[in-house]
Amino acid sequence: MSAVFKREIQSYFKSPVAYCIIGFFGILTGLYFWNVNLSNMQIEFSYTLGSLISFVIFFIPVITMKLFSDDKKNGTEVLFRTAPVSTWRIVIGKYLASAVVFGCMLLESMVCPVIMYFFMNKGGTFPLAMTISGYIAFTLLGLAFLAVGSFASSVTDSQPLAAVLGVIILIVINFIETVGEHIKGTFGSILVWLSLSSRYNNFVLGMFDFSALIFYLSFTAMMLFITIINIDRKRWN
Amino acid sequence: MIEIRNLVKNYGKVTALDDVSFDVKKGDILGFLGPNGAGKSTAMNIITGYLAPTSGNVVIDGIDAVENSLEARKLIGYLPEQPPLFGEMTVKEYLNFICDLKRVPKKKRTAMLDDICYIVKIGDVRNRVIRNLSKGYRQRVGFAQALVGDPPILILDEPTVGLDPKQVVEFRRIISSLGRNHTIILSTHILQEVTAVCSDVVIINNGKVAKTGSLSDFVSTDANVKRFAVTFDTGDKEVAEKLLSGVFKNYSFSRTDHGMLVYRFSTDSKSTGVKELFFNSASAGVALYELKPMEKSFEEEFVRIITSDMKEGV
């Protein structure tokens, strides 16, 4: 697992993709920070994070698009599938590497709340708990998105297709909440329940929603499990 | 070392392998032959654990390679048709990654990688990025990858395709020398390669085993019977056949492009018939244009097996 993880990290940071994504995300975070927090004197950074989710939907599939599709295209898949390493280790290793890129995005965005914390007017209090819970939710959501992106990458041998597929799945997952709200009855509530973004709001308000934590983690685990099955399936085709 | 039993592989409705069985003994270099699309790569992919068979068994050193694939994979080094390389890595980084992947203990690594680089001669490109290497060097790096972890079994899928003649000779030399302490399956459709390095041969055609045996089974026939071809420097059939029938009873006839007469016949290796024919012809004033023993060549044998198999199939 660590071998795959190490290689994947190297490959991310040897190509411009990771730097572009991290850099561009930094610019967007700065713009939203300026617009939401600085111009409008809004002290909650978790609102800013919430607004960034709609961009993350596009960023994350770009991070994960190469994870499995590239190996299929280059013929390096055979290396992993004939090495004495089980598929789940390979999937987790690659997934964690993509999580490191996402982690870099998180870290750079933290500059904004740190600025607010140190440069606040005297007498004001910084909403530390809300910011932390906002970050926890953002991280959980990101991890779930990465798992979706990994799955999309395992479906095809084309990177662009993997990215597009990932974006489409994430858009669907995020918009079923809106759709569900308009549908009356059980089906509507099931859609709302399934939505990843609906659970985000409690965290933004500073509440630590334990059931949401379980939901996000199990969703992530399930997506990774499907990815593993999807890769193993090819052996039997 | 490797036992393959009743292997069947279907891709949807297409049958790639149909009841393939053969054995590879420890220390053998097995030539795995067949025309393109015969099922060679599929069989190798199953042995290495890349694919699972539809039915059948592969047992590697007592380990069921289908049920217990991970254990079996530890014993195998695999060089696929297209070497699995990461273009952005240097050779050194790549081989270190393979060591990580195959869990080679850190202590053994330096010595092992030095050995491997010496064997496949890539010492001078260790710090170069794989993407920039020539085809020959890439193939060697792929070969080095298969040798990492010192697996007792090597499976090489058309390892010399796309190499220049000098590299081909060199690769064959490497394979022969590795054969001393490895069991090797070498897939190829180049017949000289098999005669140059292999001890045993399996010919596969249309997903079925067409023939198995040791190399000598394919090259020479019965050691006591020799076949000859004689070409008379005359167009007079009567004269020629008179000379020939004086010594041999059974012969076949054909004519060269230049109108000369060619006869093929078999003789006992102890017989002096060939000498007799020579001197008789000389005294009769008929020159022999050519008199040569005919070895059954591997090419002929291969083509015969493949085509007869096809006829049976029809």
Mean pLDDT of B116-128: 90
Chain A residues closer than 8 Å to B97 by CB: 3, 6-7
In this structure, the answer to whether residues B177 and B247 fall within a common structural domain is no
**How many distinct structural domains can be found in chain B?**
2
Domain end residue (candidates: B173, B198, B219) = B219
Chain A residues closer than 8 Å to B70 by CB: 84-86
In this structure, the answer to whether residues B215 and B229 fall within a common structural domain is no
DSSP string, A16-40: HHHHHHHHHHHHHHHHHIIIIIIIT
Rounded to whole angstroms, how far apart are CA atoms B89 and B146?
Answer: 17
Does the pLDDT at position B222 exceed 70? no
- CB of A233 within 8 Å of a chain B CB? The answer is no
**Token output for A195:** 């939505």
Highest mean pLDDT among A93-97, A231-235, B99-103, B179-183: A93-97
Which residues of B fall below an 8 Å CB-CB distance to A?
A: 11, 45, 48-52, 70-71, 73-74, 76, 78, 80, 82-89, 93, 97-98, 100-103, 145
In this structure, the answer to whether residues B17 and B91 fall within a common structural domain is yes
Judged by CB atoms closer than 8 Å, whether chains meet at A4 and B101 is answered as yes
Mean pLDDT of B244-269: 79
pLDDT in tens, A112-142: 888 888 877 666 777 888 888 889 989 999 9
pLDDT value, residue A56: 92
pLDDT in tens, B133-151: 998 899 999 999 999 999 9
Q: CA of B118 to nearest chain A CA: how many angstroms apart? A: 23
Judged by CB atoms closer than 8 Å, whether chains meet at B76 and A82 is answered as yes
Q: Which of A118, A115, A167, A142 is nearest to A25 (CA)?
A: A142
Q: What is the rounded average pLDDT for all residues in chain B?
A: 85
Highest mean pLDDT among A209-213, B24-28, B151-155: B151-155
The answer to whether B262 and B254 have CB atoms below 8 angstroms apart is yes
DSSP string, chain B: -EEEEEEEEEETTEEEEEEEEEEE-TT-EEEEE--TTSSHHHHHHHHTTSS--SEEEEEETTEETTTTHHHHHTTEEEE-SS----TTSBHHHHHHHHHHHTT--HHHHHHHHHHHHHHHT-GGGTTSBGGGS-HHHHHHHHHHHHHTT--SEEEEESTTTT--HHHHHHHHHHHHHHTTTSEEEEEES-HHHHHHH-SEEEEEETTEEEEEEEHHHHH---TTEEEEEEEES---HHHHHHHHHTT-S-EEEEE-TTS-EEEEEEEETT--HHHHHHHHHHHTTPPEEEEEEE---HHHHHHHHHHHHHHHH-
CB atoms within 10 A of CB B243: 22
Let me know if residue B212 belongs to a domain.
Answer: yes
Let me know if residue B7 belongs to a domain.
Answer: yes
Q: CA of B9 to nearest chain A CA: how many angstroms apart? A: 9
In this structure, the answer to whether residues B136 and B213 fall within a common structural domain is yes
Q: CA of A230 to nearest chain B CA: how many angstroms apart? A: 14
pLDDT value, residue B313: 47
Rounded to whole angstroms, how far apart are CA atoms A19 and A28?
Answer: 14
φ/ψ of residue B24, rounded to 5 = -125, 120
Strands B29-33 and B200-205 turn out to be parallel
Let me know if residue B312 belongs to a domain.
Answer: no
* Residue type present at position A199: R
> Residue B69: which CATH number?
3.40.50.300
Q: CA of A200 to nearest chain B CA: how many angstroms apart? A: 38
Q: In terms of CA atoms, which chain B residue is nearest residue A77?
A: B84
Place of tokens 């695999």: B78
pLDDT in tens, A15-70: 898 999 999 999 999 999 998 888 887 778 888 888 888 899 999 999 999 999 99
In this structure, the answer to whether residues B176 and B234 fall within a common structural domain is no
Let me know if residue B130 belongs to a domain.
Answer: yes
Chain B residues closer than 8 Å to A86 by CB: 70
Let me know if residue B301 belongs to a domain.
Answer: no
In this structure, the answer to whether residues B215 and B230 fall within a common structural domain is no
In this structure, the answer to whether residues B176 and B229 fall within a common structural domain is no
pLDDT value, residue B259: 76
> Residue B286: which CATH number?
3.30.70
CA dihedral B23, B25, B28, B30 (to 10 degrees): 0
Chain A residues closer than 8 Å to B45 by CB: 78
The answer to whether B10 and B16 have CB atoms below 8 angstroms apart is yes
Judged by CB atoms closer than 8 Å, whether chains meet at B101 and A76 is answered as no
Does the pLDDT at position B242 exceed 70? yes
Rounded to whole angstroms, how far apart are CA atoms A37 and A116?
Answer: 9
Does the pLDDT at position A162 exceed 60? yes
Task: Give Cβ neighbours of residue B231 (< 8 Å, ≥ 6 apart).
Answer: B256, B260, B261, B262, B288, B289, B290, B291
Which residue in A75, A76, A84 is closest to B73 by CB distance? A84
pLDDT value, residue B96: 93
Rounded to whole angstroms, how far apart are CA atoms B290 and B229?
Answer: 8
In this structure, the answer to whether residues B63 and B153 fall within a common structural domain is yes
In this structure, the answer to whether residues B252 and B106 fall within a common structural domain is no
Chain A residues closer than 8 Å to B87 by CB: 74
> Which residue range(s) make up the domain with B274?
225-294
Q: CA of A233 to nearest chain B CA: how many angstroms apart? A: 10
Judged by CB atoms closer than 8 Å, whether chains meet at A84 and B100 is answered as no
> Which residue range(s) make up the domain with A29?
2-236
Does the pLDDT at position B79 exceed 50? yes
pLDDT value, residue B297: 67
Task: Give Cβ neighbours of residue B184 (< 8 Å, ≥ 6 apart).
Answer: B28, B29, B30, B153, B154, B155, B156, B175, B178
Helix (H) or strand (E) holding A224: helix A210-236
pLDDT in tens, B195-221: 888 888 898 888 888 888 887 777 655
The answer to whether A25 and A63 have CB atoms below 8 angstroms apart is no
Mean pLDDT of A170-182: 84
Q: Which of B89, B83, B96, B11 is nearest to B46 (CA)?
A: B11
**How many distinct structural domains can be found in chain A?**
1
> What is the pTM (predicted TM-score) of this model?
0.83
In this structure, the answer to whether residues B266 and B133 fall within a common structural domain is no
- CA distances in angstroms from B174 to B119, B143, B147, B160, B179, listed in the order given: 7, 10, 12, 11, 9
